[in-house]
Amino acid sequence: MKNKPLILAIKGDARQEYAIAALKERFEIKEVSFPLDGAGAADILLLPMLAKNGSFEGIERHLKSGALILGGRIPTALRERFEAQGYEVTDYYDSEALRIKNALPTAEGALMIALENTPFVLSGKSVLITGFGACAKQTARLFAALGANVLIAARNPVQLADAQSLGYKTAALCTVGSVVGSADIIINTVPAHIFGREEIAASKKSALFIEIASYPYGIDEQAAHSLSRGYINAPGLPGKCAPKTSGEYIAAEITDIILKRKEGER
């Protein structure tokens, strides 16, 4: 690529390392750590995955005016702060394509957690999955492939019809309290309150609850612990279970964003 933009990439977890390695094949990259130093006039700032706002005081010393700032799940307050400074901000996790790609490593991670934290084979066991988006679809597919009896509880009638067409048992999400009692494993993919104390109390005492939804989550962790149910909160599974694949997915999305931006500047 002619006139390659200079990307200032802040080091992060393993998936960030793999993303940077993939991006180096096409772009000029300078890797830095906090506090930022030794770099100036970069065209693009690549953030690591952020759990909180972080401190970026003095960032203007390292970026060109109007530079592009890229990141995944950028907190709203931080985005607004960057935009107030005149930077263009793009969150690559807003990409539907990336979310679909990440569904498979998320599902594999959920399966790994189930295998490591149950004393039985999955074949013939009942698995309740709430929601039927990309992650739930891949998760259902993997568990069903091992012989588990999968039940999908969703709110959207189109999703329920889709699940039925794939051979899964279904239930309306509002009735989850009446079907949870038959499940050996419960996997939540819905980032909204689904399993409160009443619903958890209706489950088997041996049940395992696995949370793979993003904040604000769907399972009451305190209730699960107080009722002595197995509970595992597993955020960020792609980065933990398949960092290389996840990083390469991110690099592909970033490359697409940069190329489209470059085309728009012509």
User: Phi then psi for 29, rounded to 5 degrees?
Assistant: -120, 135
Full domain range(s) for residue 142:
98-235
Looking at the structure, tell me whether residues 31 and 127 fall in a common domain. no
Which residues have C-beta within 8 Å of that of residue 168, sequence separation ≥ 6? Answer: 140, 144, 150, 151, 152
Looking at the structure, tell me whether residues 113 and 46 fall in a common domain. no
Looking at the structure, tell me whether residues 110 and 205 fall in a common domain. yes
pLDDT of the residue at 37:
63
DSSP 17-56: HHHHHHHTTTSEEEEE-SSP-S--SEEEEEPPP-SS----
pLDDT of the residue at 126:
98
DSSP letter for 219, please: B
Looking at the structure, tell me whether residues 104 and 217 fall in a common domain. yes
- Cα–Cα distance for residue pair 171/112, rounded to 1 Å: 25
Specify if 79 maps to a domain.
Answer: yes
Looking at the structure, tell me whether residues 62 and 103 fall in a common domain. no
Specify if 176 maps to a domain.
Answer: yes
pLDDT of the residue at 155:
96
pLDDT of the residue at 48:
84
pLDDT of the residue at 61:
80
Looking at the structure, tell me whether residues 128 and 222 fall in a common domain. yes
pLDDT of the residue at 73:
86
User: Phi then psi for 164, rounded to 5 degrees?
Assistant: -60, -40
Looking at the structure, tell me whether residues 59 and 86 fall in a common domain. yes
Specify if 248 maps to a domain.
Answer: yes
pLDDT of the residue at 136:
98
**Which residue type sits at 103?**
A
> Mean pLDDT, 10 residues at a time, over the chain (266 residues)?
80 92 94 68 86 64 90 89 93 93 96 97 98 97 98 97 98 97 98 97 98 95 98 92 95 95 68
Looking at the structure, tell me whether residues 35 and 15 fall in a common domain. yes
Specify if 117 maps to a domain.
Answer: yes
Specify if 171 maps to a domain.
Answer: yes
CATH of the domain at 64: 3.40.50.720
Looking at the structure, tell me whether residues 106 and 168 fall in a common domain. yes
Number of domains in the chain: 2
pLDDT of the residue at 12:
86
Looking at the structure, tell me whether residues 229 and 185 fall in a common domain. yes
Specify if 113 maps to a domain.
Answer: yes
- Cα–Cα distance for residue pair 16/262, rounded to 1 Å: 23
Single pTM value for the model? 0.86
Specify if 189 maps to a domain.
Answer: yes
pLDDT of the residue at 254:
96
DSSP 153-201: EES-HHHHHHHHHTT-EEEEGGGHHHHGGG-SEEEE--SS--B-HHHHH
Looking at the structure, tell me whether residues 26 and 105 fall in a common domain. no
Looking at the structure, tell me whether residues 61 and 77 fall in a common domain. yes
Specify if 1 maps to a domain.
Answer: no
